[in-house]
Amino acid sequence: MEPLSTPTTMTERDREIDATVVRERTRLRDFIRRRIADTGEAEDILQDVFHEFVQAYRLPEPIEQVSAWLFRVARNRIIDRFRKKREQPMPTAKAEPDTGDPDSEYRLDLELPSYYDGPEAAYARRVLIDALWEALDELPANQRDVFVAHELDGKSFKTLSQETGVGINTLLARKRYAVLHLRERLQGYYGALDQ
């Protein structure tokens, strides 16, 4: 997509902004909703992205590749949301099922470096988060949804079962397949970052 031209009047600017919002809204909303289960939070992120677009568009420099720019901003807002929600590392994986709580049976062993530990740790954190999103995008929707709802949103399998009508054992199996895939995909990143 070509950069937006520099309009001469405020009305032309507003029309171009409106046209971009109308053109990109549905795809951008779908992109966000695949990653954020809560409709309200997803809508807030969408509005934040468009607000940032309006602010950036009014700057003298034109935005190159508007669509790619919008999706990059959306991805960053989603990452920021998970950072705020989960500053601590994700719980470690269990080699054997925990005898008490079925919710703790399958966890992704992903310890994110703190971005407070300097630029190298911030870079490593960004690389791991980006790799996690790429690996999540490779999963079938039902596995990705249960992983995000349980691991990132903190919902129990019992709650998920009640909300979706899917049995707990099916949800556990979907989560297990998701975790196995994610562990395999992310394993190489730890070795590369440790060197």
CATH number of the domain to which 144 belongs: 1.10.10.10
Query: Could you give the CA distance from residue 162 to residue 115 in angstroms, rounded to a whole number?
Result: 37
Can you say whether the dihedral through the CA atoms of 49, 50, 51, 54 is positive or negative? positive
Give me the pLDDT at residue 165, please: 93
Residue 180 belongs to what domain range? Answer: 102-194
CATH number of the domain to which 19 belongs: 1.10.1740
Tens digits of residue pLDDT in 56-66: 877 777 777 88
25 is a domain residue: yes
Tens digits of residue pLDDT in 9-30: 567 878 888 888 899 999 999 8
Question: Is 187 found in the same domain as 108?
Answer: yes
What is the length of the chain?
195
Write down the pTM of the prediction.
0.46
136: confidence class by pLDDT, cuts 50, 70, 90: confident
Contact status, residue 16 vs residue 4, Cβ threshold 8 Å: yes
Average pLDDT over residues 118-130: 75
